[in-house]
Amino acid sequence: MAPERYKEYEHILVAVDCIIFGFHKNELKLLLIKRDFEPEKGKWSLMGGFLDDDESLDEAAQRILKTLTGLHDIYLDQLHSFGDVDRDPVERTISVAYYALIDVETHDKELLKQHSASWFPIHSVPELIFDHEEMVLSALKRLRRKASHQPVGFELLPEKFTLPELQKLYESIYDTNLDKRNFRRRILSMDVLEKTEEKQKTNSRKGAFLYRFDPKKYSRKVNNGDSLIFKTLKP
């Protein structure tokens, strides 16, 4: 009988962990919370929890992120499932990791204070529990791949941004410096940005024009098979 056959097998804890990247003050950042139970209590952790019986993996990721941080309706992409036998010292647990790119300023007011979710610049991430560092590295790799064929700025930047801000974003993602003139020329030649009449004057008296992505133009490019244009931004 099938149900008997099913009973023979191990039933295992399934965790879901969320890797949230943000971009703020010209830096790529990672959202972490302090774990408030043993083992590894007090250490920094991704936002994680266990899958309930009555929710899909995607629903669990949304619930866990919302409960622990207050962030809601975030578009989460499944990254990878981590299944080493000893990855959690307490008990065999597999973890399905999800990741998201968010614009810090838009979402910062949602963050709950009681769980002390905090943003860390990607270059000064503290020691993390379990295999969470491996998860973050895997998500960073995915972000780099994504940036090579999609305009990730859509998700990480506010609606309007300057070209220097966009350049900083790509520099953060690829962890390198890009030549200003080349970057400008390449991004403008893609013809996916719309220049507004507004200027941002925070960083210079002359100010820098604000741009926004034009999703229609971009979709047309992608449908024409032109998505490889984003490769040209790769250093």
- Which residues contact a second copy by CB under 8 A? 1-3, 5-6, 9-14, 37-39, 50-58, 60, 78, 80-85, 90-94, 96, 225, 228, 231, 234
- 45, 68 contact by CB (below 8 A): no
217, two tokens: 């133009």
Residue type, 194: E
Residue whose C-alpha is closest to residue 231's, from 115, 149, 140:
149
Burial 92-107 (b: 16+ CB within 10 A, else e): ebbbbbbbbbbbbeeb
Closer of 8 and 127 to a second copy (Cβ): 8
Secondary structure class of 72 (helix, strand, coil): coil
CB of 90 to a second copy, least distance (A): 5
Closer of 37 and 114 to a second copy (Cβ): 37
Closer of 15 and 140 to a second copy (Cβ): 15
Closer of 146 and 160 to a second copy (Cβ): 146
CB of 206 to a second copy, least distance (A): 35
Our CA dihedral for 231, 140, 235, 210, rounded to 10 degrees, sits at: 80
CB of 123 to a second copy, least distance (A): 24
- 46, 135 contact by CB (below 8 A): yes
CB of 226 to a second copy, least distance (A): 10
Closer of 23 and 82 to a second copy (Cβ): 82
Residue whose C-alpha is closest to residue 98's, from 67, 70, 59, 154:
59
Closer of 10 and 197 to a second copy (Cβ): 10
Closer of 83 and 207 to a second copy (Cβ): 83
CA distance 104 to 22: 5
CA distance 55 to 5: 24
The continuous run of DSSP H or E covering 7 comes out as helix 2-7
CB of 234 to a second copy, least distance (A): 6
CB of 57 to a second copy, least distance (A): 3
CB of 55 to a second copy, least distance (A): 7
Secondary structure class of 185 (helix, strand, coil): helix
